[in-house]
Structure 1
């Protein structure tokens, strides 16, 4: 269950990171609200998952998921360009995240 919560928290990290960019320095209400709600939920989920998953592993997976999804979303929406190099690097990042899960021995 901790891994599921950690993955959802990583997704929420991508949500709050994207909302932060869209808030334009907290001058836009709804992106700022989405940022705050997603940030709190993401941090609570990370903290909860860290009860069963080692801190280093949990944090690396959380950041990796958030970073990868933030970049993928930016490519989908056209906020950043798409290149084979970026796609390959994102696949490498996802591979590292999966690898951390596979070698984790904490329960």
Structure 2
């Protein structure tokens, strides 16, 4: 259950990062509100998952999901560039996440 909570926390991290971008420096009410809510939920689920997962594993997986997710959202919804170098960097992050999960005792 901790892994599921951590996965949802990572998805919520993507949500708050995207809504933060849409908030235009917290000058738009609804995107700013969504940022705050998803941030609190993401941190809460991360903290809950850390009760049974190792700190380094939980935090690394959480930030990795957020990094890959925001990378993908930026490309799909914001028209950010998809270059070979950026794709390679994303694949290296995913490789690290898989290794972190495989090395976790939980």
TM-score computed with the length of structure 2 as normaliser: 0.94
Greater shift, 48-57 or 71-80, is seen at 71-80
Greater shift, 46-55 or 69-78, is seen at 69-78
Shift of 1:89: 1.3
Match of 2:51 in 1: 51
Q: Any idea what SS the aligned residue of 2:45 has?
A: helix
**Separation in structure 1 between the aligned mates of residue 87 and residue 81 of structure 2, nearest angstrom:** 11
C-alpha change, 1:78 and 1:25, in structure 2 (3 Å) is closer
Shift of 1:87: 1.3
Match of 1:66 in 2: 66
Give the gaps of 5 or more residues in structure 1: none
Q: How many residues get paired? A: 106
Match of 1:90 in 2: 90
Q: Any idea what SS the aligned residue of 1:20 has?
A: helix
Give the gaps of 5 or more residues in structure 2: none
